[in-house]
């Protein structure tokens, strides 16, 4: 039975609101193991739709799926110096198996570069074997001290793409291609606008040459890193001796990339669109896109209404619309509305005896307001058009919100005021100094989210560092982040 108490509002306490949206929509729950998350069917359905869409995009860009083991020999992690430094503190290590102490401890993968490149060393001999384009859907473990459902959990689900190329240019092209795939997915499926660009060295993936990122702004004006794509250069190839014979006959190390998104995206989706009534889910990723609620009092009304509702359901299924008929007895329509709103179903159809007599249904939208009486004939294309419009308006609204919370050319004082107050994206000049970056983080908790790609940069390039006033080497976007 649904909890009938109103949610904490976003205004009152964003973090409490977030947890309540997840609980009310039954998306996930805390597990008996600290920091681990149980993804409940309603949450997993969203992840499955994300997975399906992304998997198609990966395959359309030439990638194949494979699966590598969960356990990695501990010594593998140490082979790439930066990599071990970055990941060692948060690894889980297995020391015993079958009642015996293991000869070499096994790390539960925090990411799979090391084991994958150890295999690539066996599989790649010649330039003819390149590019090698593999993706894996898997779980990974990072021993997090402070966890939050979907955003940061000790174990999470993700995909990790790992590719090998003959030239640095090919690897860079792949890195940027997959960043673009992520951006397209986030905009077109999640209706979530993102900034893309390069990370500074201090925010770079451990062992990468360059890291690129998609950054979104949540409704509380904190940034969320939604996906990353790394050009690994030849760092891992050297560590794992992944060599190939070039076309000219010499021997060279391959160039690698890796890229990933995780169940964190479900958290991003919640914080981008949801409101004080609960989850708002873009139609393209919704478990149920349409719910039908029959309304009746007498038994004869019930029979008539359910028959019509079932006919509508079948018609929508035939049109590839994900529809659920909520025929539960002993529950008032109002209670059903409330429950489906909290679960973020985009469209609700109410069917009562008078609707059946008139050959109509009542349409209620989860966002964008208003109810409309629609004819039962031609319902499927009409609802498909409604969903397209909702998908677009969610993206437009999120984009407008982000731009309203973005400030360009702020002074140091304004910057401090914004980071201590409302938050948001601040664009400004950056001197390129890691010390300056660290001082800003120390003083304001804001970090450089990206050195933005050309299309996001300000019309006039900043000339001075927003913090130290030294000459600017690049425009940067700062925010406090999840």
* Position 467 contacts Zn ion (CB under 5 A): yes
CA distance to 309, 323, 346, per residue, from 387 (Å): 20, 13, 8
Site for Zn ion in 14-43 (CB under 5 A): none
Nearer to Zn ion, 17 or 467 (CB): 467
How many residues of this chain bind Zn ion (CB under 5 A)? 5
> From the CB of 423, what's the least distance to Zn ion, in Å?
21
Q: Which stretch binds Zn ion (CB under 5 A): 194-202, 392-400, 403-411, 467-475?
A: 467-475
Nearer to Zn ion, 360 or 447 (CB): 447
> From the CB of 453, what's the least distance to Zn ion, in Å?
21
Question: Phi and psi at residue 405, in whole multiples of 5°?
Answer: -105, 20
> From the CB of 218, what's the least distance to Zn ion, in Å?
27
CA distance to 28, 149, 150, 298, 432, per residue, from 40 (Å): 5, 12, 12, 36, 44
Nearest to 2 by CA among 281, 334, 369, 365: 334
My answer on whether omega of the bond before 131 falls inside 30° of 0, hence cis, is yes
* Position 335 contacts Zn ion (CB under 5 A): no
Nearer to Zn ion, 107 or 431 (CB): 431
Interatomic CA distance for residues 271 and 380, integer angstroms:
30
Q: Which stretch binds Zn ion (CB under 5 A): 32-40, 154-162, 285-293, 462-470?
A: 462-470
The helix/strand/coil state of 346 is: coil
Nearest to 210 by CA among 457, 44, 395, 453: 453
Helix (H) / strand (E) containing 430: strand 425-430
> From the CB of 446, what's the least distance to Zn ion, in Å?
13
Nearer to Zn ion, 92 or 436 (CB): 436
Interatomic CA distance for residues 138 and 128, integer angstroms:
28
82 alpha carbon, distance to own chain's centre: 26
* Position 478 contacts Zn ion (CB under 5 A): no
* Position 436 contacts Zn ion (CB under 5 A): yes
Q: Which stretch binds Zn ion (CB under 5 A): 76-84, 340-348, 382-390, 459-467?
A: 459-467
Nearer to Zn ion, 401 or 412 (CB): 412
Nearer to Zn ion, 53 or 468 (CB): 468
Nearer to Zn ion, 176 or 436 (CB): 436
Interatomic CA distance for residues 166 and 327, integer angstroms:
59
Retrieve residue 381's tokens.
């294309």
Interatomic CA distance for residues 236 and 241, integer angstroms:
8
> From the CB of 195, what's the least distance to Zn ion, in Å?
21
Nearer to Zn ion, 105 or 432 (CB): 432
**What region, left, alpha or beta, does residue 344 occupy, with left being phi > 0 and alpha being psi -120 to 50 degrees?**
left
DSSP state of 467: T
* Position 468 contacts Zn ion (CB under 5 A): yes
Site for Zn ion in 57-96 (CB under 5 A): none
> From the CB of 440, what's the least distance to Zn ion, in Å?
8
Q: Which of 431, 448, 451, 479 binds Zn ion (CB under 5 A)?
A: 431
> From the CB of 405, what's the least distance to Zn ion, in Å?
23
Nearer to Zn ion, 140 or 465 (CB): 465
CA distance to 24, 196, 255, 480, 481, per residue, from 230 (Å): 37, 13, 11, 22, 20
Q: Which of 465, 476, 477, 481 binds Zn ion (CB under 5 A)?
A: 465
> From the CB of 185, what's the least distance to Zn ion, in Å?
34
Q: Which stretch binds Zn ion (CB under 5 A): 15-23, 221-229, 341-349, 425-433?
A: 425-433
Interatomic CA distance for residues 199 and 182, integer angstroms:
16
Helix (H) / strand (E) containing 382: helix 379-404
> From the CB of 451, what's the least distance to Zn ion, in Å?
13
> From the CB of 108, what's the least distance to Zn ion, in Å?
40
Binding residues for Zn ion (CB under 5 A): 431, 436, 465, 467-468
């Amino acid at each position: 039975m649904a909890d009938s108490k109103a949610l904490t509002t976003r205004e009152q306490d964003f973090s409490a609101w977030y947890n309540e949206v997840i609980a009310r929509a039954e998306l996930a729950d805390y597990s008996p193991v600290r920091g681990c998350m149980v993804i409940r069917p309603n949450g997993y359905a969203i992840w499955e739709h994300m997975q399906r869409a992304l998997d198609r995009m990966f395959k359309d860009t030439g990638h194949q799926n494979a699966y590598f083991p969960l356990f990695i020999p501990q010594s593998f992690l140490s082979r790439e110096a930066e990599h071990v430094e970055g990941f060692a503190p948060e690894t889980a290590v297995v020391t015993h198996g079958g009642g015996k102490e293991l000869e070499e401890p096994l790390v539960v993968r925090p990411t799979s570069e090391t084991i994958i490149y150890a295999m690539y060393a066996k599989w790649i001999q010649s330039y003819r074997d390149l590019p090698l384009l593999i993706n894996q859907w898997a779980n990974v473990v990072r021993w997090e001290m402070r966890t939050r459902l979907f955003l940061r959990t000790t174990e999470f689900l993700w995909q990790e793409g790992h590719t090998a190329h003959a030239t640095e240019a090919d690897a860079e092209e792949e890195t940027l291609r997959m960043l673009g795939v992520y951006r397209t997915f986030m905009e077109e499926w999640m209706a979530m606008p993102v900034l893309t660009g390069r990370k500074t060295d201090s925010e770079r993936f451990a062992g990468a040459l360059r890291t690129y990122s998609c950054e979104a702004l949540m409704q509380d004006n904190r940034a969320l890193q939604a996906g990353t794509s790394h050009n690994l250069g030849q760092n891992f190839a050297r560590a794992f001796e992944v060599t190939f014979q070039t076309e000219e006959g010499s021997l060279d190390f391959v160039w690698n990339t890796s890229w990933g998104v995780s169940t964190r995206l479900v958290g991003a989706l919640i914080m981008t669109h949801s409101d004080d009534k609960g989850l708002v889910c873009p139609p393209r990723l919704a478990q149920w896109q349409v719910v039908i609620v029959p309304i009746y009092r007498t038994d004869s009304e019930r029979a008539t209404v359910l028959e019509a509702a079932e006919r509508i359901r079948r018609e929508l299924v035939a049109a590839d619309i994900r529809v659920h008929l909520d025929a539960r007895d002993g529950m008032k329509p109002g209670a059903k509305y409330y429950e489906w709103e909290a679960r973020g179903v985009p469209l609700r159809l109410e069917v009562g005896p008078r609707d059946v007599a008139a050959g109509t249904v009542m349409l209620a939208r989860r966002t964008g307001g208003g109810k409309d009486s629609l004819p039962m004939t031609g319902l499927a294309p009409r609802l498909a058009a409604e969903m397209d419009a909702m998908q677009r308006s969610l993206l437009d609204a999120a984009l407008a919100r982000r731009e309203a919370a973005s400030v360009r050319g702020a002074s140091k004082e304004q910057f401090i005021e914004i980071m201590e107050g409302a938050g948001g994206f601040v664009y400004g000049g950056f001197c390129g100094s890691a010390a300056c970056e660290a001082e800003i983080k120390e003083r304001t908790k804001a970090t450089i989210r990206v050195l933005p790609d050309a299309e996001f940069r300000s019309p006039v390039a900043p000339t001075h560092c927003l913090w130290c006033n030294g000459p600017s080497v690049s425009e940067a976007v700062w925010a406090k982040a999840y």
